[in-house]
Structure 1
Amino acid sequence: MTTIELQQWRESFVERYLNKIDDMEISEELERAAKKIFSKRRTPRPCVIHSQEEMIAEVRKSVEDAREGRVTSSEDLDKEIETWF
């Protein structure tokens, strides 16, 4: 679904349902349901690899980085971690 299609769907949803709510109890129930739905949605962490192809590509890139000396020493990492606190 494109951004425009999503926007049109939202507008249609609001017109069909939300604009017709005339009871606070229904509004509160919808809000609770929406909160429950959104709390269950998880944003994938950026470090999560989603497919076997991506995992293989990341391993190959890491091996190449190590060969080329693009690494972080444990001492440098310790110093970096200290700045986090």
Structure 2
Amino acid sequence: MTTIELQQWRESFVERYLNKIDDMEISEELERAAKKIFSKRRTPRPCVIHSQEEMIAAVRKSVEDAREGRVTSSEDLDKEIETWF
């Protein structure tokens, strides 16, 4: 989902549901439920926690390593990927 699609979906959700709430108890229940949902978010994958500059530097280093023949074996790569989840 693109950023624009997500923004449109949020606006639609607010119009369809949140703007129609006229009971304080329902508002409080929704807030508690939202807090539960957001507290259960998964840890982002490694590619999400690094800045763009860090990722670009890593790609450049990898390209240089490949040019010089320093590559990771498939087995080592599989082991590394398993640690991501």
TM-score bracket for this pair, using the shorter chain length: 0.5 to 0.7
Stretches (4+) displaced over 2 A: 42-85
Structure exhibiting the larger radius of gyration computed from Cα positions: 1
Distance 2:12 2:67 in 1: 55
Partner SS state of residue 48, structure 1: helix
Deviation of 1:20 after TM superposition, in Å, equals 0.2
Q: Structure 1 vs Structure 2: percent identity of aligned residues?
A: 99
Decide whether the 8 Å contact of 2:21 with 2:27 is kept in 1. yes
Deviation of 1:44 after TM superposition, in Å, equals 2.7
Deviation of 1:9 after TM superposition, in Å, equals 0.2
Deviation of 1:46 after TM superposition, in Å, equals 3.6
Q: Looking at both structures, which has the greater relative contact order when contacts are Cα pairs under 8 Å and sequence separation is at least 6?
A: 2
| Superposed CA RMSD | 9.9
CA distance 1:81–1:53, change in 2 (3 Å): closer
Deviation of 1:61 after TM superposition, in Å, equals 8.3
Decide whether the 8 Å contact of 1:21 with 1:27 is kept in 2. yes
The number of equivalent residue pairs is 85
CA distance 1:34–1:66, change in 2 (3 Å): same
CA distance 1:59–1:78, change in 2 (3 Å): closer
Distance 2:79 2:17 in 1: 55
| TM-score when normalising by structure 1 | 0.53
Give the unaligned 5+ runs of structure 2.
Answer: none
Distance 2:78 2:9 in 1: 50
Decide whether the 8 Å contact of 2:45 with 2:84 is kept in 1. no
Distance 1:84 1:4 in 2: 29
